[in-house]
Amino acid sequence: MPKSTIARALNEGLRKAMEKDSKVLIMGEDVGKLGGVFRVTDGLQKDFGEDRVIDTPLAESGIIGTAVGLAMRGFRPVCEIQFDGFVFPAYDQIVSQVAKFHYRSQGKVSLPITIRIPFGGGIGAVEHHSESPEALFCHIAGLKVVACSSANDAYSMIQQSIASDDPVIFFEPKRRYWEKADFDPAAGAPPLHRARVVRPGADVTIVAYGPMVRTALDAAAAAETEGRSLEVIDLRTLSPLDMDAILESVRRTRRLVVVHEAPGNGGLGGEIAARVTESEFYRLEAPVLRVAGFDTPYPGSQLEDNYLPDLDRVLDAVDRSLDY
């Protein structure tokens, strides 16, 4: 099968979306000539022009706020936030406008805005370039939130997000941008808001998303050598959650470990644990365990390998789960 990377797959997905629908716009800082600091929009301004691939002033609230107006005018803006840590100046427009306008208008106005956010750590960066703010968007009704973890998903999910009439926060695992992987644009894609079992197993279910999917798969491979069968679910959709997929798996394994880079306190793991436990109270053999970033700010990059969940910490949680 042909190989590609998540970054290239996103680039091709964006190109496809722009070819398909002339209302699709790309806007953000350095998305034009430079093609974005990660080159995800590489070549798009050259081919679609400055009116469709817009280098914006350096103001994130302005990016999202003008995208709201453009969407009201009938366009489909795809906004790039350069790094996870820089979405907060736009948080007000996202929470109070993007998320609520459809509800406020009793369904008369819809805002098909896609907000792309490269997220997560592990790239040896300075402060604010390694954040995992997804929980801060999942708590906001009116937003849909997804995270891709593979080239195939990147390609299909970005197109599905742009095609969605609801606003979508689209998280991209920046540290996986350049990992080579199988890429088959023709491969059919599941609906945007479905999770996927990326490795079947029997003993413990591991739920992960974005950059942690690779980590979970590595852990599952390592566990196998120790005779343990882990089922790995790639969440893909963070809001709404695909509880049916998670519960179906947990009903079989009766054990669940949730993995994410974001701090554990108030992270997605807690929400998933609460829902799974409420639904499968009598079935669970062990409490849902969480492997997450520590409840501290993201440290200097020399400590990020300690801060971030890794194969060993996932396996440690698996051990603890199986000890119950």
Partner 1 sequence: MARDDMARDDGPDRPVAVQAPGSGADATAAAAESELESATKATQAVGNSFLTAGDLDLAALLRSPADPDLVQLLAPEGERVEHPDYAVDFSDAQYRSLYRDLVLVRRIDREASTLQRQGELGIWAPLAGQEAAQIGSARALRPGDMAFPTYREHGVAWCRGVDPLVLLGLFRGVNLGGWDPLEHNFSLYTIVIGAQTLHATGYAMGMQRDGSEDAVIAYFGDGASSQGDVNEAFVYAAVYNAPVVFFCQNNQWAISEPSERQSRIPLYRRASGFGFPGVRVDGNDVLATYAVTEKALADARSGQGPTLVEAFTYRMGAHTSNDDPTRYRLDHELEAWKLKDPLERMKSFLYKQQIADRSFFDDLDTEAETLARQLRKSCREMPEPQPLSIFDDVYVEPTEHLRRQREDYAAYLDSFEDAAVGGGR
Ligand X SMILES: Cc1ncc(C[n+]2csc(CCOP(=O)(O)OP(=O)(O)O)c2C)c(N)n1
Residues serving a catalytic function are 129
Task: Work out whether 141 is an interface residue with ligand X (CB under 6 A).
Answer: no
Task: Work out whether 161 is an interface residue with ligand X (CB under 6 A).
Answer: no
Q: Residue by residue, what is the 3-state secondary structure of 14-27?
A: HHHHHHHCCCEEEE
- Given a contact cutoff of 8 angstroms between Cβ atoms, the answer to whether 223 and 206 are in contact is no
Burial of 63-73, coded b for 16+ CB within 10 Å and e otherwise, reads bbbbbbebbee
The least distance separating a second copy from the CB of residue 106, rounded to whole angstroms, comes to: 10
- Given a contact cutoff of 8 angstroms between Cβ atoms, the answer to whether 18 and 41 are in contact is no
Task: Work out whether 127 is an interface residue with ligand X (CB under 6 A).
Answer: no
Burial of 92-107, coded b for 16+ CB within 10 Å and e otherwise, reads ebbbebbbbbbeeeee
Task: Work out whether 89 is an interface residue with ligand X (CB under 6 A).
Answer: yes
The rounded distance, in Å, linking the Cα atoms of 36 and 299 is 25
Select from 12, 29, 234, 304 the one that contacts ligand X (CB under 6 A).
29
Pick the stretch among 18-26, 29-37, 75-83, 280-288 that binds a second copy (CB under 8 A).
280-288
Pick the stretch among 24-32, 131-139, 151-159, 253-261 that binds partner 1 (CB under 8 A).
24-32
Angle at Cα 18 formed by Cα 14 and Cα 22, nearest 5°?
160
- How many residues bind partner 1, per CB under 8 A? 84
The least distance separating ligand X from the CB of residue 215, rounded to whole angstroms, comes to: 27
The least distance separating ligand X from the CB of residue 82, rounded to whole angstroms, comes to: 5
Which of 210, 269 has the CB closer to a second copy?
A: 269
- Given a contact cutoff of 8 angstroms between Cβ atoms, the answer to whether 311 and 215 are in contact is yes
- DSSP H or E segment with residue 261: strand 256-263
The least distance separating a second copy from the CB of residue 240, rounded to whole angstroms, comes to: 8
Task: Work out whether 58 is an interface residue with ligand X (CB under 6 A).
Answer: yes
Which of 58, 202 has the CB closer to ligand X?
A: 58
Which of 20, 104 has the CB closer to partner 1?
A: 104
The rounded distance, in Å, linking the Cα atoms of 263 and 290 is 10
Residue found under tokens 């806007």: 27
Select from 23, 52, 139, 283 the one that contacts a second copy (CB under 8 A).
139
Q: Residue by residue, what is the 3-state secondary structure of 42-109?
A: CCHHHHHCCCCEEECCCCHHHHHHHHHHHHHCCCEEEEECCCHHHCHHHHHHHHHHHCCHHHHCCCCC
Task: Work out whether 274 is an interface residue with ligand X (CB under 6 A).
Answer: no
Residue 125 interacts with which of ligand X, partner 1, a second copy, none, CB < 5 to 8 Å by class: partner 1
The least distance separating partner 1 from the CB of residue 50, rounded to whole angstroms, comes to: 7
Task: Work out whether 121 is an interface residue with a second copy (CB under 8 A).
Answer: no
Q: Which of 314, 265, 132 lies closest to 210, judged by CA?
A: 132
Q: How far is CA 314 from CA 206, 293, 308, 318, in A?
A: 9, 12, 11, 6
Which of 203, 271 has the CB closer to partner 1?
A: 271
Q: Which of 265, 249, 279 lies closest to 257, judged by CA?
A: 249
Residue 166 interacts with which of ligand X, a second copy, partner 1, none, CB < 5 to 8 Å by class: partner 1
Select from 43, 200, 266, 300 the one that contacts partner 1 (CB under 8 A).
300
Task: Work out whether 287 is an interface residue with a second copy (CB under 8 A).
Answer: yes
- How many residues bind ligand X, per CB under 6 A? 6
Crossing angle between the packed helical segments 311-323 and 212-225, to the nearest 10 degrees? 60
The least distance separating ligand X from the CB of residue 5, rounded to whole angstroms, comes to: 22
Q: Using CB under 6 A, list all residues that contact ligand X.
A: 29, 58, 60, 82, 86, 89
